Structure 1
């Protein structure tokens, strides 16, 4: 385990720490808003193209299995998160539904950091998790909407005076579902993957400097900006409360264990691929899901789900979680081969 932690001393993670510390010491370091968006777009396009190239060369049966299990994780994890939050009795059901949607979706930043972690150790990994990354965005949003609708229905039965709010949520459900499946990050990931899959292989070689050579440098800048944002939300811990902070640390461990089990036992991946599926199960979205929840569940408190996903779970996964999921993957793969 100690060697795994020492291997996190890679530029991508250190740049995240730099951004976090810069905000804590009240440095005037800032990212232009448009630059942060450009970095996000670049990373989504790059990983989508990589996934498409691998998909073009992939076995159809294995690719289909990865998609199916991505859907299973996308639907299962938010239900688990919602149940835990209700059992804690610390948040309202609509807040719980919005938070749960974040923990069923995925974090591209965490996934990319895991790739950097594996690359720093020379560990090879299957490319199917890239396909799973693109697939897991929307299902959790849909589940979050359904949980919110269920919560509204229960509240309406308990208090007839709230039927107006219920009708509003139902009348907009079609638009909300459309938003979930046409979200910009989802379109970029799936669209780039399709381009990478159908484009001429020779032509794709010309994109190598764009998709590979500058990738880690762009990732460092992205994590620097994420460190600044996480540092900005560090003070929100007091408002979130100890119980919710505990959820932000425990839920990724639950998702990570489930992801590791799926990665190796169900999909047959090696240590690298199993680690990445564990990271997918453990991560929480902070790009695709927040806009959808703001539109779909306006009653939910954004400071709760943003602070948990970006201020608690993202730093935990980057610094502590990834080595844990890698260690679990090593144990599971070693055990099944022994």
Structure 2
């Protein structure tokens, strides 16, 4: 199957349709809160499916997957933060907020990768679903810590004077950590994963139509809406700047390479599993992290991190990145 035909799958094509609809100023719109409902379904479905597989999986490998997911979740935001600070094009607080998005994960990108592998007939391990469930919170925590450190170092007004007391630095860290760990998306995914893992196998049979048979249809609707939203955000390129656009393309490549290395050499996954770990490393969150950053780092510019995550990195990964990560997985010998 050629690279072009690999892209001609319904999920990707619906994303392109949504993008096109917005570009030509179509009156196509989703009902209010429908995108949120679709997101809830997708998180529950992948959580239940992953939990069901986890209940039948090797516990040792599952624990290794969790450990490496935490490693990625804690280190990738720091890499992103350092890259952004070096450019001197954004403030350190903006850099902290953006970096948190790139250490976190995109369920939409992951689901598009699953659809891509399914269409190509490539099997994959279930462990990346576990990694998806645990990678959201570490990046949020790192982003909050980077913001707190930046405030102390530079002051709220960007001066060298000590910063006034802030909620992150004065006992508020526990509440912020609680918020990161109990974020709705994280809680829903982890809770569904746990339910799928501990539920009696026979009782899960009645849920399989809900988990499997309508899954791709809902995913297509979700990516249709994401295509429209990405087209809306892409118009803000001129506000971001060339350097930031480059970051939105380079950072997923760095994360993808890290993911390939971890998936293949550290976890010993096959071709499909290694590709999915690469996608986790390459993706940027646009659902769970933005509200957390907006609340905890109000000084950061929301249009900056939303434009990068949703307007640049998401379409790049869906259209170019996923086939590229599969190629890299093949290149290192994953089979």
Q: Which bracket does the TM-score occupy, shorter chain normalised?
A: over 0.9
Q: Does 1:299 align with 2:299?
A: yes
| Contact 1:176 1:295 (8 Å CA) reproduced | no
Query: In 2, Cα distance between the equivalents of 1:232 and 1:295?
Result: 23
2:113 corresponding residue in structure 1: 114
Q: Does 1:163 align with 2:163?
A: yes
Structure 2 residue aligned with 1:265: 265
Runs of at least 5 residues in structure 2 that lack an aligned partner in the other structure:
none
What is the CA-CA distance between 1:161 and the residue it aligns to? 6.0
Counterpart in the other structure of 2:80:
81
Q: Hey, what does 2:152 align to over in structure 1?
A: 153
Measured on the aligned residues, the alpha-carbon RMSD in Å equals 1.4
The structure carrying a bigger helix percent of its residues is 1
When the two structures are superposed, what TM-score results if normalisation uses the length of structure 2?
A: 0.97
Q: Is the 8 A contact 2:153 2:162 kept in 1?
A: no
Contact 1:5 / 1:323 at 8 angstroms: preserved in 2?
no
1:46 aligns with 45
Equivalent-residue separation in structure 1 for 2:66 and 2:333 (angstroms): 22
Which residues in structure 2 correspond to 1:84-233 (within 5 Å)? 84-156=83-155, 159=159, 163-164=163-164, 166-171=165-170, 172-233=172-233
Match of residue 14 from structure 2: 15
Unpaired segments ≥5 residues, structure 1: none
Contact 1:67 1:131 in 2 (8 A): yes
Could you tell me which residue of structure 1 aligns to residue 64 of structure 2?
A: 65
Shift of 1:160: 6.6
Distance 1:168 1:198 in 2: 38
Shift of 1:162: 6.2
Deviation at 1:8, TM superposition (A): 1.0
SS in 1 for 2:89: coil
Change (3 A) 1:154 1:194: same
The residue matched to 1:333 in structure 2 has which SS? coil
Alpha-carbon deviation of 1:178?
1.1
CA contact (8 A) 1:271 1:330 kept: yes
CA contact (8 A) 2:154 2:161 kept: no
